Homo-oligomer: A and B are copies of this chain.
Amino acid sequence: MSKLRFSISMSVDGYMAGPGQSREDPLGKRGLELHEWVFKLRSWNEAHGREGGGGDPVDERFAEAWSAGSGAYIMGRNMFGPIRGAWDGAEPWNGWWGDDPPYHTPVFVLTHHAREPVEMEGGTTFHFVTGGIEDALEQARAAAGSKPVSIGGGASTIQQYLRAGLVDEMLLHVVPVLLGGGERLFDDLGGGPEGFECVELVSSAAVTHYTYARK
């Protein structure tokens, strides 16, 4: 059975998104600073049709392994978009990422409102799952084959899977930014997560990578 994992950039004060998230500012105030280490990488620039990139080889390894490795994604509705309620508004919302989203796999979006799948360019198809986190995981595993299923976010979706004890692997990329507020990754976990051990701790001058596996 394919593993369930997530890979999250986090500020050293614990936030995976800044305060004041909105349609204009989906990562919240200064939230983009969490991801600057990725924007410097060769692999990221190549994937976006640009040349160059001068990130650290350590950081490159994590980004490459991640982008090549996922057979399907799961995300919460808040991460998919700012729209609330039913999907049949005047304006169709197909995510933040334009016509060719960076997933290139099936993506299972947790929602209370049914919607037909939406096929995007580049291999990304959004499926809308109303049956809860275990249903989404089952569908994602069926789609992922032998590859891992990755939780894209946001914090509350990750926390739901952690509380249910369903996560096999966590990758934390801690950047030395202090955001002072926003969405905490490690919150509402009832004293957990439990049962993980750190199997690798490695750092560049820009970001520290912590890898956790189930004991």
Q: Which residues of A contact B (CB under 8 A)?
A: 12-14, 19, 172, 174, 176-178, 180-181, 184-186, 189, 191-194, 196, 198, 201-203, 205-208, 210, 212
Task: Tell me, in angstroms, the Cα distance from A203 to B175 when the chains sit together.
Answer: 13
Of all chain B residues, which has the CB nearest A29? B191
Contact B14 A210 (CB under 8 A): no
Contacts of A201 in B (CB 8 A): 176, 203, 205-208
Of all chain B residues, which has the CB nearest A193? B178
Contacts of A210 in B (CB 8 A): 12, 176
Of all chain B residues, which has the CB nearest A206? B201
Are A191 and B198 also in contact (CB < 8 A) when A172-B12, A176-B210 are?
no
Of all chain B residues, which has the CB nearest A184? B14
Contacts of A196 in B (CB 8 A): 178
Task: Tell me, in angstroms, the Cα distance from A18 to B196 when the chains sit together.
Answer: 17
* A185 CB, min distance to chain B CBs, angstroms: 8
Contacts of A178 in B (CB 8 A): 186, 192-194, 196, 212
